Each structure stands twice: as structure tokens, then as C-alpha cells.
């Protein structure tokens, strides 16, 4: 059972924090398609306390997306405390601490996965954060720094001892980055040493993987990252499979185009038309994957800077696909 804050969910599905991906618009789309909890992209504690404008935008959350966690990272305890207080003023359901980011500059500052090198220091920093806010604090981490220093069991225990409400374990070491197989077996080992909820993360790329993750481990939740980029239906599909229902082989083109436009429309409302259109470009390959003539349409979309023109192009494309579908159906009947 994933029980944190006001959230109480068996086999919860979490949308992972992802930089430049999990902004409000995408979080809303994933919530609408079945994600139980969503997280902001990681937000730099130093940027928060310096009142950096771009950083502060990442703290914005809206009621429609709840439950939502704000994820922060940093290596300096004073900065983490202050940043957590500021994050709390945005009223998230969870404050999540990133202890898993593998990027060089971040770990060098003792933040992200750098925390795993000093479990006592990590414990002290996170305890200071917990003592400074009312909001439940969770932690997302990895199994260890490298293959020879896997310390997730010690870390998980230390985190539970100081009052962390749940942990997400990315079942890779820091030295693996995002490559190689995530070893889910660590989830069962972690569940043996702590009683707080444990979320499994790493290599959950399809709805079938979600089912396998729950069947093979005692995870209370599964956190999906890359599997959700451009394919927010992974949550809906996974929920259907978990309920023993069939899922569609593929999402129909009209639904894909509709969700893509909804995503873009939400993004324009949140961050303005020009930025939304530019940022949406990275999603088109996911939304249009496998559709007839998709690469040509993608190229056209890359040239457009207005929502109304994107909408016009995509709706016209939807019409063409519909005509093709009918022509094919007639041909098969003949
Ligand atoms: C584009 C991208 C951005 C990411 N940004 C974050 C982040 O801001 N915070 C975080 O904790 N992890 C971040 N991650 C890591 C993911 O949350 C996740 O732990 C990792 O991708 C492993 O899960 P997967 O194998 O299902 O992709 C990011 C991953 C990707 C691909």
C-alpha cells in the first residue's frame, strides 16, 4: 500500500520526476490517463533560495493535478532547509528529495546520488529538512554509488528512522546512469528492512512491465519515467492489465492527436504559446509514432510557432488518416 500524505493506494502508479518533461501540462495529461501521483522535475535548492525566476516557475503546481510532489535537490543543508520551506509554501502533497541524480556537477556538490557516498550526512541533511516542514518528505534514490558499494539497505533503514514517509528506489547504481538492467530484486530486499512504502523505479517501459514489477516484487508503487515520455497511455494500459482487462494493441490515431493537442493547449496556458510550441516538438515522435506519413507531418510541425496552425495541421492530418482508413476498409470488403 502506497500511503503517504492523503494518498492511500494499492499498486500505485507514479509519474517520475523528469527534467524538461514533467511540467504542469504533462503532469495533467498523465493524471488524466491514470497516474496516481505526479512529481515536478527536480528543482535546485540554491536556485530556489536565490529566487531565480526560471527555477521558481518549476515550483508552481495547480489543484487539478493533485496529488503532486515537488522534488528538490541540493548538497548544502541550509539551502535544502530554506528551499523545502519555500517549496512547502506552494502547498504540495509531498516534498521529494532527489538522492539519485547521477550528473557529475550535481554529485560533486554532494547532491543527488552524491548523497549515497555519505549515508550519515544524507540522513542528517534530510532529517533537518523533515524537522523544518510539515509536508511529508519522501526520497528518490538509487541502490548505491557503484557495483562495489551498494548500500541501499543501510540507506533505506536510516531514512525510515528519521521519518521519511516513502522511498523510491531506482534499481541501478549511480555509475550505471540510465543504462543496463535495473535489478528489481533489491525492492524485495528493501521491503524486508523497512515498513514504509517502497516504489520501484527503473526499466518500467511498458504496461506489461508494470504488471511484472508488481508480480515479481513486493513494491507498493511503480514509478514510470522514460516509458511515459510521449506515451502517457502507459498508466491507463497498466491499470487495465492490473484489473485483468485487455488493452488495445495500439492507441487509435484520433485519440493520439486529441491528447497531443490537449497537452499542447494546456502547455500554452501554463507557459505561453511560443515556449509551449517549441517544447512540444520533442513529444511529436511519441504521439505520432508509426502513423502513415508521420515523419513528413513532424517536419511540418517543426516550422510552426502558433497553436492554431498546429491544430489545423493535426486535425487535417487526422482527416486524411480517417479517409485512408475508410478507403482501406472498402478495399478489404471488395
Ligand atoms: C529526461 C529525463 C529527465 C530526468 N529528470 C529527473 C529528475 O528531475 N529527477 C529525478 O529524480 N530523476 C530524473 N530522471 C530519472 C528518472 O526519474 C528515472 O529514475 C530513470 O529514468 C529510470 O527510470 P526508467 O528506466 O523507467 O526511465 C530523469 C530521467 C530522464 C530520462
Q: Which residues contact 217 (CB under 8 A, 6 or more apart)?
A: 184, 185, 187, 188, 191, 200
CATH class of 2-242: alpha beta
- For ligand 1, whether the C-beta of 209 sits within 6 Å is no
The answer to whether residue 331 scores a pLDDT higher than 80 is: no
pLDDT of residue 332: 66
**Rounded mean pLDDT, 244-250:** 93
Helix (H) or strand (E) holding 271: helix 253-271
Q: Nearest 5 degrees, angle CA 236-CA 237-CA 239?
A: 65
Mutate to test the pocket of ligand 1, among 68, 102, 178 (most ligand atoms within 8 A of CB): 178
What residue's CA is closest to ligand 1, atom 21?
225
Ranges of each domain in the chain: 2-242, 253-333
Quote the ligand 1 centre to 19 CA distance (angstroms): 7
In order, the DSSP letters of 1-63 are -EEETTEEETTEEEEPP-TTT-SHHHHHHHHHTT-SEEEPPPEEHHHHHTT-HHHHHTT---G
pLDDT tier, 333 (very low <50, low <70, confident <90, very high otherwise):
low
288 class by beta-carbon count within 10 Å (0-12 exposed, 13-18 middle, 19+ buried): buried
For 268, how many CA atoms within 13 A lie in the half-sphere containing its CB?
A: 14
- For ligand 1, whether the C-beta of 282 sits within 6 Å is no
pLDDT in tens, 126-139: 999 999 999 999 99
What single DSSP character describes residue 95?
E
pLDDT of residue 186: 98
The answer to whether residue 330 scores a pLDDT higher than 80 is: no
pLDDT of residue 327: 84
pLDDT tier, 279 (very low <50, low <70, confident <90, very high otherwise):
very high
Out of 1.10.287.70, 1.10.1200.80, 1.10.10.350, 1.10.10.10, which CATH number does the structure's domain 253-333 have? Answer: 1.10.1200.80
- Distance CA(41)–CA(142), nearest Å, equals 17
pLDDT of residue 334: 59
Amino acid at each position: 500500500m502506497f500511503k503517504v500524505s492523503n494518498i492511500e493506494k494499492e499498486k500505485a502508479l507514479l509519474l517520475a520526476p523528469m527534467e524538461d518533461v514533467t511540467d504542469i501540462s504533462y503532469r495533467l495529461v498523465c493524471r488524466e490517463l491514470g497516474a496516481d501521483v505526479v512529481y515536478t522535475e527536480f528543482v535546485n535548492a540554491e536556485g530556489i533560495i536565490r529566487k531565480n525566476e526560471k527555477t521558481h516557475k518549476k515550483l508552481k503546481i495547480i489543484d487539478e493535478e493533485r496529488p503532486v510532489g515537488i522534488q528538490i535537490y541540493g548538497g548544502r543543508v541550509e539551502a535544502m532547509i530554506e528551499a523545502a520551506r519555500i517549496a512547502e509554501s506552494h502547498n504540495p502533497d509531498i516534498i521529494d528529495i532527489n538522492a539519485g541524480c547521477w550528473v557529475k556537477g550535481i554529485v560533486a556538490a554532494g547532491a543527488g546520488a552524491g548523497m549515497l557516498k555519505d549515508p550519515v550526512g544524507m540522513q542528517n541533511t534530510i532529517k533537518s529538512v523533515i524537522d523544518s516542514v510539515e509536508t511529508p518528505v519522501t526520497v528518490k534514490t538509487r541502490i548505491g554509488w557503484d557495483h562495489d558499494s551498494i548500500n541501499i539497505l543501510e540507506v533505506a533503514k536510516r531514512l525510515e528512522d528519521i521519518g521519511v514517509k516513502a522511498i523510491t528506489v531506482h534499481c541501478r547504481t549511480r555509475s550505471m546512469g540510465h543504462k543496463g538492467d535495473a535489478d528489481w530484486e533489491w525492492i524485495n530486499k528493501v521491503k524486508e528492512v523497512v515498513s514504509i512504502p517502497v516504489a520501484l523505479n527503473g526499466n518500467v517501459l511498458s504496461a506489461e512491465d508494470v504488471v511484472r514489477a508488481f508480480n515479481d516484487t513486493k513494491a507498493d508503487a511503480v514509478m514510470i519515467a522514460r516509458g511515459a515520455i510521449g506515451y502517457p497511455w502507459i498508466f491507463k494500459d497498466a491499470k487495465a492489465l492490473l484489473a485483468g482487462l485487455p488493452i488495445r494493441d495500439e492507441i487509435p490515431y484520433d485519440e493520439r492527436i486529441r491528447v497531443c493537442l490537449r497537452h499542447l493547449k494546456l502547455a500554452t496556458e501554463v507557459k505561453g504559446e511560443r515556449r509551449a510550441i517549441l517544447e512540444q516538438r520533442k513529444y511529436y515522435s511519441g504521439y505520432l509514432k508509426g502513423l502513415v506519413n508521420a515523419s513528413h507531418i513532424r517536419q511540418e510541425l517543426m516550422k510552426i510557432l502558433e497553436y492554431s496552425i498546429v491544430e489545423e495541421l493535426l486535425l487535417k492530418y487526422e482527416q486524411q488518416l480517417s479517409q485512408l482508413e475508410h478507403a482501406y476498409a472498402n478495399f478489404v470488403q471488395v
